[in-house]
Structure 1
Amino acid sequence: MVALVVALALFFDFTNGFHDTANAMATPIATGALKPRVAVAIAAVLNLVGAFLSTEVANTISGGLIREGAGGVQITPVMIFAGLIGAILWNLVTWLLGLPSSSSHALFGGLIGAAIVGAGFGAIDLSVVLSKIVLPAVLAPITAGLVAFLATRIAYTVTKKKQRSRFKIGQIFTSSLVSLAHGTNDAQKTMGVITLTLIAGGFQATGSSPELWVIIVCALAIALGTYTGGWRIIRTLGTGLTEIEPGQGFAAEAATTATILASTHLGFALSTTQVASGSVIGTGIGRKGASVRWRTAGRIAIGWLITIPAAGLVGALASWVALAGTGGIVVDAVVAAVIIFAIFVYSRRNRVDPASVAVVNDPAALVRPKRRKAKKGGVR
């Protein structure tokens, strides 16, 4: 059971990687600072490196979210298995919709729902939930948005119009920092889950930090997921919220990096997706002449609000089924596999790939074919 949970946790880590690639690379792709494939390759490498830089967030999950009882932690590998199913399914649904929701909150929701069904409300340390999860969820995107707003105003005040294309070079640096910061925060969440599973299964001492092999496999899984590229969400975050210029992208990425690194140092398991989205909105408000597509922002905000309860409900249902015994675990695994396969098949009907993302962000690419055709027919 422990081996099964570890494998499922690594699959979640993989989905986290491609779901959250947009956090770092949507804006440099949108401005043309980086080619799509180059961008996700850089993000993958830096996510890998970032995963080795800290374990504070992992310790929050493995030793704080779930209370310890007389016999150790009150959650079992079976419950963690169910919670991961809730997190993975919600991640894939929001990816299909191109919605930049929080992989982190999907994980927390799934684990909380599964633990409540299996061990009761007392198994959840609400003080940790409020201080390390809910509070950052409220403050982080607002803080990042404010910093991005101010950075955008400063950038456009101190530079002339003809100089602003130089921000593309700066974007390569700042987007790389976001990828590094993302690795330090998000990869640790899966480390925490695996460590919690090992503790619950009796393979590791209560209160201990992640083992080296756990850090390595989690770093590799999130890097591989990042390299596959979450093109649907990249399209939404890069062009769906506001039209991004290089100066805005630079400001958004700088604000995102600062917020994530500060939160990681404090052990806050924040949503990097919320931070990145808040930064992009802040730049849209900060640049004179820009506009924010508030309807899209509203859809994203609704996704933020329902992520924890939605993943929690799925995790709770999966936990209720799994706790029936081996047959329940098999049913959970089969149903989850069928849903995942169905989502993948459905996604092929409206495929979004690097080429289509590049076209979306280059309006001229949409016009050129029509112009060539008109000229050939002798009509200007």
Structure 2
Amino acid sequence: MDLLFWLAVATVVVVLCFDYTNGFHDAANIVATVIASRAMTPAQAVIIVGIFEFLGPLLGGTAVANTIGSFVRLDGIDPASALTILLCGLLGAIVWNLLTWWRGIPSSSSHALVGGLVGVVVVSAGADQVVWGFRELFHNGHVSGVMKVLLALLLSPLIGFWCGYAVQRLMHALLLAAKPAANRGLKGAQFLTAAGLAFSHGANDAQKSMGILTLVLLLGGFIPTFTVPFWVILACASAITLGILSGGWRIVRTLGFAIYRVRPLHALNSQLTSAAVIFAASLAGAPVSTTHVVATSIMGIGASERPRAVRWNKAKEIATTWVITIPGAALAAILIYAVLRLFLGPA
């Protein structure tokens, strides 16, 4: 019981650390276009984003948490082993987040979490402990498990790109005769769209940690059913907000400048598009990558205006990172699990 208790404590701490690195890693996704378009100072961006990031998990429901907490099955194995597996999966995701932050590459924390957990579960407990969802999808059209997570992560960038493309075309047509002074209004409107993006990010991304933390409590026998306690919501909201306030500012340059030269209209359209796509996904219980949606919305906006001005080489670099994130995080988690088993002995 003592080992189980301390494993649970360690895993809860690591979940909150992942939540913090998620916010730290994704801070640039939210503030990049605001700062690049000079709509806000960094201090103003931090205040606005911090407030609404915290409100997102509190008011955004738990649909995404339910999805994340159910794509691996660990209730049929020893609780201590189950918590060890979760711990290693989370550590693998954290290692990948820090590595990509250090390199200034906007990879996906969501992909890292999925990769870390699936990789270590397959190696340690077997592939049948993962809810893949392939059979349910092809037999009765029901989307669940890993399939639901992957579809959300794969489709959301495409939706972000084409929504950004369409919104830019529409706004450009509406403002065709506008004078340069209109930029002042576009910058002012970003206080609303940036707040909306921060809220939607909190509502989606913090729920991933809420789902894992609730799964830890369930596997440890601390709660009878998978129901997210309020203190879990509050803890995850606080951790991700602290991460946002700390800020992974290295990625601001990549998203704000290296893909397309962002002006006030582009920034407003990117924030509006991203906020709408991410919040809709949150309501549907679909975990998406804020990094993917923001980056592809900027690409779509650039493609609708001046395709040749979009730095597609940078886009290819980001896309390559997206492809390797799941296997990369999985490998990191597996290595951590192997090292941990050397100290703890066989499961």
Percent identity between the two aligned chains: 39
- Determine if contact 1:17/1:225 at 8 Å carries over to the other structure: yes
Could you list the per-position Cα deviations for residues 233-277 of structure 1 after superposition, in whole angstroms to 9, with x for gaps in the alignment? 111111111000111111111110111011111111111110111
**Does residue 213 of the first structure (1) align with residue 231 of the second (2)?**
yes
1:44 pairs with 2:50: yes
Q: Which residue of 1 aligns with 2:36?
A: 30
Deviation string 1:64-121 (CA, Å, 9 cap, x unpaired) is: 2112655698971101110111000100010011111101111111111111122111
The match for 2:217 among 181, 195, 198 is 198
- In the other structure, the counterpart of 1:60 is 67
**Counterpart position of 1:261:** 279
- Structure with bigger gyration radius: 1
What is the number of equivalent residue pairs in this alignment? 327
Residues 75 and 82 in structure 2, CA contact (< 8 A), matched pair in contact too: no
Aligned 1:113-262 pairs, distance under 5 A: 113-127=119-133, 128-159=144-175, 160-165=178-183, 166-206=185-225, 208-262=226-280
Aligned partners of 2:88 and 2:238: how far apart in 1?
23
User: Which of 286, 293, 299 in structure 2 is aligned with 1:275?
Assistant: 293
What residue is the counterpart of 1:104 in the other structure? 110
Q: Residue 82 of structure 1 aligns with which residue?
A: 88
Q: Deviations over 1:9-49 (max 9, x none)?
A: 11111111111012221101000001112212221221110
Q: Is the 8 A contact 2:255 2:295 kept in 1?
A: yes
- TM-score, length-scaled by structure 1: 0.82
Aligned residues: CA RMSD: 2.0
In structure 2, relative to structure 1, the CA distance for the partners of 1:192 and 1:171 (3 Å cut) is: same
| Alpha-carbon shift at residue 325 of structure 1 (Å) | 4.9
**Alpha-carbon separation, structure 1, partners of 2:207 and 2:101:** 21
Equivalent in the alignment of 2:316: 298
In the aligned structure 1, how far is the partner of 2:63 from the partner of 2:267? 29
Q: Please give the alpha-carbon distance, in whole angstroms, between the structure 1 residues aligned to 2:333 and 2:256.
A: 31
Q: Distance in 2 between matches of 1:77 and 1:71?
A: 10
Cα contact 1:14–1:224 (8 A) shared by 2 = yes
User: Hey, which bits of structure 1, 4+ residues long, moved more than 3 A?
Assistant: 68-75, 128-131, 323-329
Partner of 2:302: 284
Letter in 2 for 1:238: G
Name the residue aligned to 2:3: none
Contact kept? 1:75, 1:123, Cα under 8 Å = no
What displacement does 1:318 show? 1.5
C-alpha contact 2:110 2:287 (8 A) present in aligned 1: yes
Conserved? CA contact 2:11–2:83, under 8 Å: yes
2: distance between equivalents of 1:139 and 1:75?
34
Matched letter for residue 152 of structure 1? Q
Structure 1 position 18 matched with structure 2 position 37: no
Any conservation in 2 of the 1:44–1:222 contact (CA below 8 Å)? no
Is contact 2:168–2:304 with CA below 8 Å preserved after alignment? Answer: yes
Residue 164 of structure 1, CA deviation:
3.8
TM-score by length of 2: 0.89
5+ long unaligned stretches in structure 1 = 330-380
CA distance in 2, matches of 1:43, 1:163: 26
Structure 2 residues without counterparts, runs of 5 or longer = 1-6, 134-143
Give the Cα separation in 2 of the matches to 1:69 and 1:224: 32
